[in-house]
């Protein structure tokens, strides 16, 4: 009988502990786009030639959309839209700028040693390009 009482008391304590409010230990998930936002220094390579420039990425709307300013060094007034899914970004086919330059591609976000990086592969004005952007 003593063992049964101890077993019941132990079970009750475990049940009570599992029902405690631990919301103080849990932080709500942040927007998956947050890691992509801000100014990024990019090194773009097209046909073996590279150039460096800065892009600015900001959130658009409530969903998964981003706005990239100065994409492929086309200028701060040239906006390119992208979509985020966890650590990847997709640049759907679109025509940007006054001259309607066709662009499309994708990229991957990574972080190592305190350095955030987005590696993108895309087509811009009919040319294949790779850009490595650090933050």
CATH of the domain at 66: 2.40.128.420
Domain annotation covers residue 12 = no
Domain annotation covers residue 44 = yes
- Parent domain of 119: 34-134
Instruction: Report pTM.
Output: 0.76
Segments of the chain with pLDDT less than 70? 1-29
Domain annotation covers residue 72 = yes
> Which residue, 108, 32, 104, is CA-closest to 65?
32
Domain annotation covers residue 110 = yes
For the chain, what is the domain count? 1
- Residue 62's pLDDT is 82
Domain annotation covers residue 46 = yes
């Amino acid at each position: 009988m003593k063992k049964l009482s101890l077993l019941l008391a132990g079970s009750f304590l475990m049940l009570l502990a599992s029902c405690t409010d631990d919301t103080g230990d849990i932080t709500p998930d942040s927007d998956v786009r947050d890691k992509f936002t801000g100014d990024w220094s990019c090194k773009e390579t097209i046909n073996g030639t590279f150039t460096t420039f800065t892009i600015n990425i900001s959130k658009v709307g409530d969903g998964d959309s981003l706005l990239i300013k100065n994409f492929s060094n086309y200028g701060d007034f040239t906006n390119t839209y992208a979509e985020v899914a966890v650590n990847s970004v997709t640049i759907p086919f679109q025509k940007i700028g006054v001259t309607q330059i066709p662009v499309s591609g994708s990229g991957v976000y990574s972080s190592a040693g305190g350095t955030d990086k987005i590696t993108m592969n895309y087509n811009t004005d009919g040319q294949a390009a790779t850009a490595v952007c650090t933050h």
